[in-house]
Chains A and B, each alone.
Chain A
C-alpha cells in the first residue's frame, strides 16, 4: 500500500523551462499510449474471464484506464504542453499484437502476465517517477500519485488472479510467463529511453534535447528501478525462482541493458541473477543468491 507523505515543509517548486515541458510532453504522450493499449488489452481479455464477476471487474479496470487518458490529456492542457492521444511508437503496437495472439490462443495467464504484471509494473515505475513533487511539479505529481494508486490496485488484482491460476496449473502458467517475457519485456525496456521513432516529430520537439536531468533522473537508474519492480512482482506472484532467475538473466541481451544493471559479471561466468527482496530473504524456500 502506498503511503502518503507526511505534511511537512512545502517543497520549493523550481521554475521550469521549455525543456521540462518538452520532456513532460514526451513522457505523458507515451503514458497515454500505454493507457490506450491497456484499454484494448483489458477489453479484449474480458471474453476470457470465466465468471460475470471477473468480467465486470475487468471492464472496471478498462474504465479506470480510460479515466487516466482523460486526466493525462487534461494535464497537458492545464500546463500548456502538447500531447498525442493515440499510439505513436511502434513498441506499443508490438505488445498489443503479442497480447492479441495470447487472446486468440485463449491463454488467459499470458494475458494477465502481459497486462496486469509486465505493463502495470512499468506504469507503476513511471507514475512513481512523475509523482515525486521535488522532481516534477505539484500538478503533475498529484495526478501521477492518483493514477499510481489505481495501477497498484490493478497489479494487486493481477497477482491474485495469477496466483489462483498458478495453483491450478503451474506448468502452463510458467510456460505462459516464459513466452510473454521473451515477447514483451524487450519491447517494454526499449521504451525506457528518450529516443523515439516518430513521437518527437509528432509533438514537434527536438528528440536530442530531451533530458531526464529535468526531473533529476537518468536512463540507467530508471532501468534499475524498472528491473527491481519487475523482479519484485515476479516474486510476489510466487513463480518458480529457477524460471524467473533465468528470465532475468536473459535480459542482459537487451540492447539497452547494461550488464551491471542486472548484477552480472562482465565476462559471464558465475552470474548471480537478480531476485526480489522476498526471495533474497528466503521466503517460501531457501534464500537465493542475489545480485
Chain B
C-alpha cells in the first residue's frame, strides 16, 4: 500500500499550470536532505521560541511567542506529511551539525537574559534563512507542484515572524540602542558563520554522506540549485538589517565581515561581489 502510494507520488502533479515530471532517485534524495534540514530548523525554532517566552516583558507578548512556537510545530508536521506523501525519508543522518551550534548560542543568550540577542538570532537570522529557502522553493523555478505549494504556505508564516521580530527589535532599540547593537554584533559573529557554513557546504555534505553530486542530479522541472539559496538568504539577512533600522556603521562592518565566510579551496560563488553590490547600493553610515 505504502509502496504504491510512493510510486504514484514519484510523479509530480500537473495541476495549476505545473507540468508533471518523474521524480528521479537523486532528486528524492535531494528533497530528503532539504526537508530533513528544514525540519531540524523548525524543531530548533520551537525550542528557541519556547525558551524565549520567559524573557518576554508582558503577558500579551508571551502569548504571541507561544503562538509562534505553535506555528513552527505545524511546520514540522507539514514537512513530515510532505515526506510521507512523496515517499522520501526524513533522515537525521542528513541533518547538518551546525544546527546544534546555533541552538547552543541561542540558549546562551537566553541564559544571560539577553532578549535582544534571542530575537536577533531567531526572529531575524534564522528566519532569514528559512525565508530564503521557502522563497526559492515557492518560486517559478520550482516546477514541482507539491513542494512549491508547501513552501508557499510556510513562507507566509515565516515572513510574519520576521515582521514581528523587526517590530520587537525596533522597540528594544528605542529603549537601549547600544545594548541591542552589542547583541547584534555578538549574535552575528556567533551565528551567521554557522548558518552560512550550512548553506555553503550543503553540496559537499551531501557528497560525503550520501554520495550524491547535487550538480548532476536530474531534477526534472526544478531549476533550483543550492547555490541560489546562498544568495537568497544573504539578501534577506542584509535587507532585514536595514529594515530593523540598525546603525549603518555597524551593519556595514558586519556585512563586510561575511566575505571571510567563503570556504577556502571551494570555487567562489561570488559572495564577495554580491556583498560589495549590497554595500555600494545601500546608504553609508556616518563615515
A43 to B63, CA, bound (A): 11
Interface centre among A39, A46, A59 (most CB of B within 10 A): A59
Distance to closest chain A CB from B189 (angstroms)? 23
Asked if A55 and B43 sit within 8 Å, CB to CB, the answer is yes
Residues facing A in B102-119 (CB within 8 A) are 107, 111
CA distance A247 to B9 in the complex (A): 58
- Looking at chain B, what size class is its interface with the partner chain? 20 to 34
Q: Please name all residues of chain A whose beta carbon is closer than 8 Å to the beta carbon of B49 when the two chains form the complex.
A: 43
Closest chain B residue, CB of each to CB of A64? B66
B120 within 8 Å of A by Cβ? no
Asked whether A39 and B76 contact (CB < 8 A) given A47-B51, A55-B46, A56-B46, the answer is no
Cβ contacts under 8 Å, B76 to chain A: 52, 56
Is the C-beta of B50 less than 8 angstroms from some C-beta in chain A? yes
Distance to closest chain A CB from B27 (angstroms): 25
Contact with A along B16-58 (1 / 0, CB 8 A): 0000000000000000000000010001001101110110001
Are B66 and A43 in contact (CB-based, < 8 A)? Answer: yes
Residue of B nearest to A36 (CB): B59
Query: Could you tell me if B53 and A43 are in contact, using CB atoms closer than 8 angstroms?
Result: yes
- Expressed in whole angstroms, the Cα–Cα distance for A55 and B39 within the complex equals 13
A69 with B59: CB separation less than 8 A: yes
Does A246 have its Cβ within 8 Å of any Cβ on chain B? no
Question: Once bound together, how far apart are the Cα atoms of A57 and B9, in whole Å?
Answer: 30
Q: Residue B69 at the A interface, CB < 8 A? A: yes
Residues on B with C-beta less than 8 A from A100 are 54
Tell me if A59 and B51 are in contact (CB < 8 A).
no
Partner pick for A55 among B53, B62, B73, B107, CB 8 A cutoff:
B73
Cβ proximity bits A44-83 to B, threshold 8 Å, 1 near / 0 not: 1011000010011011101100100110000000000000
Q: Does B268 contact A (CB under 8 A)?
A: no
| A47-B47 contact in complex given A40-B62, A55-B73, A69-B59, C-beta closer than 8 Å | yes
Show the binding face of B for A, using Cβ within 8 Å: 39, 43, 46-47, 49-51, 53-54, 58-60, 62-63, 65-67, 69-70, 73, 76-77, 107, 111
Interface residue ranges, A against B (CB under 8 Å): 32, 36, 39-40, 42-44, 46-47, 52, 55-56, 58-60, 62-63, 66, 69-70, 85-86, 96, 100, 104
Closest 7 CB pairs of A and B: A46-B50, A43-B53, A43-B50, A56-B73, A66-B63, A40-B54, A47-B47
